Structure 1
Amino acid sequence: MTTPTAEAVHLRDLARLRRVRDRMDRDYAQPLDVEALARGAHMSAGHLSRQFRLAYGESPYSYLMTRRIERAMALLRRGDLSVTEVCFAVGCSSLGTFSTRFAELVGMPPSVYREQAAGDLRGLPSCLSKQASKPIRNREAPAPEPDLA
């Protein structure tokens, strides 16, 4: 029996990471944690976190929260659900954590986004509104200008 080469191991890990990412994309509303995702990928939680960050530039938790915020933005644009209903619909269990993360990625709280988004993207095809409203990752939302007056 031969041992796999480093390249073969790397390719195997990349395939596992893609499956983890696909699961987060598909099951974002389900309770997911790094340990459960790692078990499904036959990796330790630490190895999964390190490899995921190397492959995708962010931690599994950050990626999952970005997906949840993306879905939340679409639900908030519809305007028929409250912020709390949207929070739980996308799989978040804490309204405070959801609101904080939403504001970090989008640059405004979800309640403000819900009010503003109703008119901002009206008339755009859904494929364009999705692209125009994509959240910014890694706390890159522009900071509000300080009021120096």
Structure 2
Amino acid sequence: MSADLDELRRLRRARDRMDREYAEPLDVPALARTALMSTAHFSRRFREAYSETPYSYLMTRRIERAKTLLRNGLSVTEACFAVGCTSLGSFSARFTELVGDTPSAYRSRDHEHVAAVPPCQTMVASRPRKTGGAPRQSSFGEASVGAPA
């Protein structure tokens, strides 16, 4: 049992690193070293623990941060590079997949309704989710893919 808890702590350490250093050039081998695991074992155990791959988790965090930057007026290109993405095409495709809107369309929307909401609540309510299904509006008017009603 304690070995499982130790492994979960190490996985959490890698996940926390992704949360902190999302704009850095992180890859699975570097994250596996953070968790003191082989790359394959880390990828397998991370997916079992968090129901998504390390890459998917990192990209979701990056898109989450990019939404904030776009709401604050950064261009799509600036937001893409600010969150650590190196390909505008891949960033736009993933953004559209998770948010249900292109980055440009999302940026051009009115975000006044979000301004009065504390950032921690905005982050939770507008968190991108990849679970399939059609995008739906959250309580803050944010599109969420497959979010529960």
Please state which band the TM-score falls in when normalised by the shorter chain. 0.7 to 0.9
Alignment of 1:10-89 (within 5 A): 10-79=4-73, 81-89=74-82
Between 49-58 and 121-130, report the one with greater CA deviation.
121-130
Alignment RMSD: 1.7
Structure 2 partner of 1:147 = none
Distance 1:8 1:14 in 2: 10
Q: State the percentage of identical aligned residues.
A: 61
Distance across 2 between alignment mates of 1:14 and 1:115? 41
Give, in angstroms, the shift of residue 119 of structure 1. 3.8
TM-score of the superposed pair, with normalisation by structure 1:
0.83
Is the strand fraction higher in 1 or 2? 2
Q: What is the total number of aligned residue pairs between the two structures?
A: 136
1:138 Cα deviation from its structure 2 partner: 4.0
Map Cα deviations across residues 30-83 of structure 1 (whole Å, 9 max, x no partner).
00000111122221111001100110000000000000000000111111x110
Inter-CA distance 140–71: structure 2 relative to 1 (3 Å threshold)? farther
**Of 25-34 and 37-46, the range deviating more from structure 2:** 37-46
Q: Aligned-pair distance for 1:141?
A: 4.8
| Shift in CA distance, 141/86, structure 1 to aligned 2, threshold 3 Å | farther
Which string of whole-angstrom CA distances, capped at 9 and with x for unpartnered residues, describes residues 73-108 of structure 1? Answer: 0111111x1100000000000000000000000001
1:84 maps to a residue whose letter is T
Larger Rg: 1
The offset of 1:139, in angstroms, is 4.5
**Cα shift at 1:122:** 4.0
The question of whether the paired residues in 2 share the 8 Å contact of 1:105 and 1:135 is answered with yes
When residues 16 and 127 of structure 1 are mapped into structure 2, their CA distance, relative to the original with a 3 A threshold, is: closer
Task: For residue 125 of structure 1, report the CA deviation from its aligned partner.
Answer: 3.5
User: Aligned-pair distance for 1:134?
Assistant: 1.8
Normalised TM-score (structure 2): 0.83
In structure 2, runs of 5+ residues without a counterpart are 137-149
Deviates more, 1:53-62 or 1:8-17: 8-17
* Structure 1 pair 132–29 and aligned structure 2 pair: CA distance change class (3 A): same
- AA partner of residue 97 (structure 2): E
